């Protein structure tokens, strides 16, 4: 009787360990469609559209213009005058009604075009370019520092698999040719009121 009980316990335990091992076995690699779906999910949740997509103003506030998804600050849009006295440390950070241009103590940054356009977006980037940009906070991993408020530090904490999914989806976002202006350093900001 005791022996039987021991035998059953050993059986249950081995079955349990077997199932546990099945569960821990390496995940199957995702198909391209699965990567795109996961990437779209992460991009939507990650707020990328909030800062990178042009908006249409509605009675409920700005809504993403789905015809210009992730194309960044429109190159044709003139930069409104900025009161440089307001953006010194401890004061304001300014943005426009589309959250595509940002002025603060770092100067003016323009939300990038992250569509699949190969000359003005990230269509010519490799997955490695994308991952190293997000992990280092430097353009392509070795260029200039990426300016606020791009949350590269948080995005860069995603796993390689999630960054791969994000990049795979971004490469399917329709290409929009829009060359976003270069950042403006703080001392080059011309505004209505100069520092006293
Ligand atoms: C709070 C606003 C904000 C959010 C949210 C945001 N970005 Fe950005 N992003 C920016 C700005 C502004 C820049 C331009 C920074 C610069 O010129 O240095 C930028 C730049 C980039 C670049 C270009 C970097 C380079 O080296 O050229 C990529 C790629 C990028 N963002 C991807 C993303 C992705 C993917 C998400 C969502 C997970 C995201 N961003 C969310 C504001 C944001």
**Which pLDDT tens digit goes with each residue over 63-72?**
999 999 999 9
Mean pLDDT of the 117-132 span: 98
Check if 185 has its Cβ closer than 6 Å to any atom of ligand 1: no
Q: What is the pLDDT of residues 43-67, one digit of tens each?
A: 999 999 999 999 999 999 999 999 9
Say how far apart CA 7 and CA 9 lie, in whole Å: 5
> For position 190, what pLDDT does the model report?
79
> For position 193, what pLDDT does the model report?
43
Instruction: Please give the helix or strand (H or E) that residue 103 lies within, else none.
Output: strand 101-104
Q: How many angstroms is it from 70 CA to the middle of ligand 1?
A: 10
Q: Is the pLDDT of residue 32 over 50?
A: yes
Residue of 70, 20, 47, 28 lying closest to 161 (CA atoms): 28
CB 153 within 8 A of CB 138: no
Q: What is the pLDDT of residues 130-162, one digit of tens each?
A: 999 999 999 999 999 999 999 999 999 999 999
pLDDT band at residue 196 using 50, 70 and 90 as cut-offs: very low
Q: How many angstroms is it from 150 CA to the middle of ligand 1?
A: 4
């Amino acid at each position: 009787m005791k022996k039987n009980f021991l035998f059953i316990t050993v059986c249950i335990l081995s079955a349990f360990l077997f199932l546990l091992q099945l569960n821990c076995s390496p995940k199957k690699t995702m198909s391209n469609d699965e990567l795109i779906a996961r990437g779209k999910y992460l991009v939507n949740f990650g707020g990328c559209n909030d800062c990178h997509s042009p908006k249409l103003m509605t009675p409920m506030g700005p809504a993403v213009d789905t015809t210009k998804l992730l194309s960044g600050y429109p190159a044709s849009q003139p930069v409104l005058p900025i009161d440089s006295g307001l953006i010194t440390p401890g004061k304001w950070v300014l943005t426009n009604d589309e959250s595509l241009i940002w002025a603060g103590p770092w100067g003016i940054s323009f939300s990038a075009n992250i569509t699949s356009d190969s000359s003005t977006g990230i269509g010519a980037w490799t997955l490695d370019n994308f991952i190293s940009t997000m992990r280092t906070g430097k353009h392509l991993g070795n260029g200039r520092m990426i300016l606020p408020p791009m949350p590269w530090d948080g995005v860069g904490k995603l796993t390689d698999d999630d960054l791969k999914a994000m990049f795979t989806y971004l490469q399917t976002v329709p290409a929009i040719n829009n060359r976003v202006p270069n950042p403006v350093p703080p001392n080059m900001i011309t505004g209505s009121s100069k520092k006293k």
